[in-house]
Amino acid sequence: MWLVRPAQPADLEQILEIAGTQGARLSSTLPKQSEALAQKIEHSLASFAGKVPASEAPRFLFVLENTVTGSVDGTAGIDARAGNGQPFYNYRRDALIHASHELGVSRRVEVLYPSHSLTDQTLLCSFSIRPELRNTDAFELLSRARILFIAEHRDWFSSRVVVEIQGVQADDGSVPFWDSLARHFFNMDFETADQYSAVLSKTFIAELMPPNPIYVTLLTEEAQSALGQAHTLTAPNFELLQREGFHAGCYLDIFDAGPVLEARTDSLRTLVTSHRKTLHGRHDEAGDLCLIAAGEASDFRCALTHVEETLDDELKVSVKTWTLLGKTAGDAVRIAPL
């Protein structure tokens, strides 16, 4: 069975292994160095335990565990406040009309404005999963478990949620948007900058970007066509998030121009369709396959299970799932349809 739970220090090696398979990704918040990752897990545990005040930007890291083998096969994170106390950089894609009344002409000019507008909104991040698990139920579980966590701890998070989707990257690892813009100011390729980004912070790198707006028409054609385009590998994730109610607005990633998806927290599908129920037992597995989440804070667990609902808000779930969730009959759980 698949289980999503808070990441523990013992997961370090396995997470590093997954992070290594993900390729260069400046905006990923999943470190590839063990020291940085150990810190992140430490911080996440403190956040789950409620020891990180809202002003210090709690960050949560979940892992996907195969309960049969005990292996960790994916990660997913939530930053309660994008930017984590620092400015959160994006480009806002906007348009200006350059017009002359005397000459009777006007022209639409597209401009990328550096923006901090999304700072402090809740950010879904650090999503990674073993490639063979893409497009499976485990994939959906890992992604949506976070929304159930938000539903259970609604006041920890802001009224809007954003996700950065990885942008276009060629097979050789080059990123057209980076090469057309940021490269000139860093004199380094995307991969190198990515390594720095993991050690320092995304904000640190972003602050070296030019502070002025950028005219889209002066970018290379490849870079222009990459604006707001998701990497093909992210398609399953992109579609899942769209079903969840996220949509691409005018914000782009500052390094690879991937789209930033936005949603109102209270409109997220998983949040709206989930319900609190009381746990009851049965021996066999029958009924619809659902996401089931239980436990507060550090005890949060989320799994996939077959459930049968009764008319009086009780939920019949196999005992195997009880143990997985660390719950017993009569405890409250939250379910959402798959």
Partner 1 sequence: MLVIRPLQENDLDDLYTMAQNAGKGLTTLPADRELLQKKIAHARETFNQRCAPEAGLYLFALEDTEKKKAVGISGIQARVGLDEVFYNYRLSVTVNASRELGVHVRTPTLHLSNDMTDTSEICSLLLSDEYKGGGCGLLLSRCRFMYLDEFRKHFSEKVFAEMRGVSDQHGRSPLWDALGSKFFDMEFSEADMLSGLGNKAFIAELMPKYPIYLPMLPDSARAVVGRVHENTAPALRMLQAEGFNFNGMVDIFDGGPVVEAFVHNVRTVRDSVNRYAMITQNPVDLDVPARERVMVSNRSFRDFRVTTIPASCIGPDTVKMPPAVAEALQVESGDPVRLAPLKDNGPLPINTYRGQDKADDRVREHRSRSSKS
Which residues have a catalytic role annotated? 231
Among 35, 105, 132, 283, binds partner 1 (CB under 8 A): 105
Among 10, 68, 69, 100, binds partner 1 (CB under 8 A): 100
Assign 3-class secondary structure to the chain: CEEEEECCHHHHHHHHHHHHCCCCCCCCCCCCCHHHHHHHHHHHHHHHCCCCCHHHCCEEEEEEEECCCCCEEEEEEEECCCCCCCCCCEEEEEEEEEEECCCCEEEEEEEEEEECCCCCCEEEEEEEECHHHCCCHHHHHHHHHHHHHHHHCHHHCCCEEEEECCCCCCCCCCCHHHHHCHHHHHCCCHHHHHHHHHHCCHHHHHCCCCCCCEEHHHCCHHHHHHCCCCCHHHHHHHHHHHHHCCEEEEEECCCCCCEEEEEEHHHCHHHHHCEEEEEEEECCCCCEEEEEEECCHHHCEEEEEEEEECCCCEEEEEHHHHHHHCCCCCCEEEEEEC
Residue whose CB is less far from partner 1, 201 or 298: 201
Is residue 325 at the binding interface for partner 1, with CB under 8 A as the rule? no
- Site size with partner 1, rule: CB under 8 A: 29
Least separation in angstroms between residue 126's CB and partner 1 is 23
Is residue 221 at the binding interface for partner 1, with CB under 8 A as the rule? no
Least separation in angstroms between residue 116's CB and partner 1 is 18
Least separation in angstroms between residue 114's CB and partner 1 is 11
Is residue 338 at the binding interface for partner 1, with CB under 8 A as the rule? no
Is residue 215 at the binding interface for partner 1, with CB under 8 A as the rule? yes
Stretch touching partner 1 by CB under 8 A, among 86-94, 103-111, 168-176, 260-268? 103-111
Least separation in angstroms between residue 16's CB and partner 1 is 23
Is residue 99 at the binding interface for partner 1, with CB under 8 A as the rule? yes
Least separation in angstroms between residue 37's CB and partner 1 is 20
Is residue 95 at the binding interface for partner 1, with CB under 8 A as the rule? no
Is residue 188 at the binding interface for partner 1, with CB under 8 A as the rule? yes
Interaction site with partner 1 (CB under 8 A): 98-100, 102-103, 105, 107, 109, 111, 180-181, 184-188, 196, 200, 204-205, 208, 210, 212-215, 217-219
